[in-house]
Structure 1
């Protein structure tokens, strides 16, 4: 339940960050640089959440692909994202590889 609340809170913060510029200045009055920057806010927030969890499981920095299925799953997700540029296939590929590797390592 805490994780769901965390995701909902992060989504609300991301939405409010984007809405703040639009609400204060109006959508048509925003400079092009701000509109471009706001487009990348969700990606930046998502990256800030995921990268530490992938590279520092348990608080220890690791780059070993063979012993940690998270890194392999993240690489698979990045490859799928590069080819499809879609969120759901990216998440499905990353989670699928993670679950498969964890099941194989049991």
Structure 2
């Protein structure tokens, strides 16, 4: 690929990203959103996070795509603690402790 092609791609993607963000922040930023839109926006993180986390748990690059018991148990503990306590910080801390504890116990790394 030529340098001009790469730079053109970078500039076009940058303009596209700017326009997408401006359409939400610039055009709607000073106005109050309707209640139905605010209700839907509350669930954005709940909809996005499983899509980001599932591949890291089920097909981790660190193990060449093999299911790793340490990561799977950490994900299950994080989910359970989050569900039981409704506390994000507690869920993250317990999941992290489980991950590092399982890695240490299994001697995986």
Note whether the superposition's TM-score is higher than 0.5.
Answer: yes
TM-score (norm 1): 0.65
Structure 1, gaps ≥5 residues long:
1-15
Tell me what 1:95 maps to. 96
Larger radius of gyration: 2
The CA RMSD measured in Å over matched residues stands at 2.9
Q: Deviations over 1:36-78 (max 9, x none)?
A: 111111222322221110111126364xxxx521111100001
Query: Does structure 1 residue 85 correspond to structure 2 residue 86?
Result: yes
Report deviation, 1:98.
Answer: 0.6
CA distance in 2, matches of 1:36, 1:61: 38
Residues 104 and 84 of structure 1: CA distance in aligned 2, closer, same or farther (over 3 Å): same
TM-score (norm 2): 0.63
CA distance in 2, matches of 1:92, 1:23: 39
How many residues matched? 85
Structure 2, gaps ≥5 residues long:
1-19
Q: What does 1:3-22 align with in structure 2 at a 5 Å threshold? A: 20=24
